[in-house]
Amino acid sequence: MTGQRTPRVSVVVLSWNTRDLLRSCLLSLQADPRRSEHELIVVDNGSEDGSPALVEREFPDALLIRNGRNLGYAEGNNVGIRAAGGRHVLLLNSDTEVEPGAISLLADFLDRHPEAGAVGARLLEPDGSVQRACMRFPTLAVVIGFDTWFGRRFPLKRAIDRYFYREFDHLSSRDVDQPPGAALMVPRRLYETLGLLDPDLFLFFNDVDLCRRIRAAGYRIHYLAESRILHHGGASTSRYGDFAQEWHLNRARYYLRSHGRAGFWLAKLMSAWRALEEWWRQIRRIDDAEARRFATERLRRIVRLVFLDPGRGDARVR
């Protein structure tokens, strides 16, 4: 970037088949009165809905990077981070719309607080209500109780409530373990020292792992309620065919990194338990033999994927 001013913020927007939402997101960025401080990087993860052509036609100032296939959330964003030249990097989901000034508020916080390693924005539902999206780092109690029979009962219910910050209304700013990953800003220098998103966490838990590494390095992580961003939620992940299987795989790999082999195998066991719970719930309500076979095959597939996966990306079970 010789001869050019270093951007204050590099906004990295990853998109996979979200053309209409992507357009709304980019229009909101275009309307920011301080947009000249930011560079915009759009990473397309092999979309087939015309998203790249839309960016080229309507947003020529954006740097468009075309991935030939869906690299996943982690590696797709890594492509954008590597191309970023800004002092800070904002990872922004394509299903968001940024209120004027929201990005600058996040950057202002990091500039004022060099001890902070990440800051996230308040996410809003389309009706204006707040999304309670902050979380604490998941513990072994959480892996047992999350979305299972055990988690609805004392004492694990308390662990689940704590995990979701259910005592926190998300209307004020505070330090947290993990702010919403849909709009997360990190100083670029930290990616250079701590590393990028873990590509083995293909779609889920990569932001959790990043925040865990930032906290382990001694930095604060902050939720800034004054920075407001509309979030439609799950636009890309809901279209991903192996959503449930990928979530369970990525969770087990995260627990391997955060809790070692014991956490890894406990996560696998609880994934199998959760799949069994869901199979039993469905099978009791289904009379059709073909539907029963489908439910049983889904149970078998999740258990097989989870238990055969060794926790390394080079041995992905697909």
Q: Is the pLDDT of residue 20 over 70?
A: yes
- Report pLDDT for 234: 65
Pairing relation of β-strands 220-231 and 174-175? antiparallel
Phi/psi of residue 189, nearest 5 degrees: -60, -25
240 has pLDDT over 70: no
- Per-domain residue ranges of the chain: 9-134+170-238, 138-167, 241-309
Strand segments, DSSP code E, in 133-242 are 174-175, 183-187, 220-231
Q: Which residues contact 317 (CB under 8 A, 6 or more apart)?
A: 249, 304, 305, 308, 309
As a CATH number, domain 9-134+170-238 is 3.90.550.10
Q: Are the C-beta atoms of 79 and 43 separated by less than 8 Å?
A: yes
Predicted confidence (pLDDT) at residue 314 exceeds the cutoff of 60: no
Contact (Cβ atoms closer than 8 angstroms) between residue 272 and residue 144: no
Q: pLDDT band at 239, cuts 50/70/90?
A: low
Contact 49/19 with Cβ under 8 angstroms? yes
Alpha-carbon distances, residue 147 vs 235, 296, 303 (angstroms): 22, 20, 17
Q: What is the average per-residue pLDDT within 282-289?
A: 74
Cβ atoms within 10 Å, residue 286: 14
pLDDT of 40 reads: 98
pLDDT in tens, 165-198: 999 999 999 999 999 999 999 999 999 999 999 9
pLDDT class of 316 with cuts at 50, 70, 90: very low
> Considering only 120-129, 136-145, 231-240, which range has the smallest mean pLDDT?
231-240
Read off the pLDDT of residues 262-279 as tens digits, 9 standing for 90 and up.
Answer: 999 999 999 888 888 878
pLDDT tops 50 at residue 318? no
Work out the average pLDDT over 236-252. 77
Of 68-82, 143-157, 266-280, the least confident: 266-280
Return mean pLDDT, the chain: 90
Tens of pLDDT along 205-218? 999 999 999 999 99
Considering the chain, what percentage of its residues have pLDDT values greater than 90?
75
Respond yes or no on whether the N-terminal peptide bond of residue 155 is cis (omega within 30° of 0). Answer: yes
Higher-pLDDT residue of 221 and 292 is: 221
pLDDT beyond 70 at 81: yes
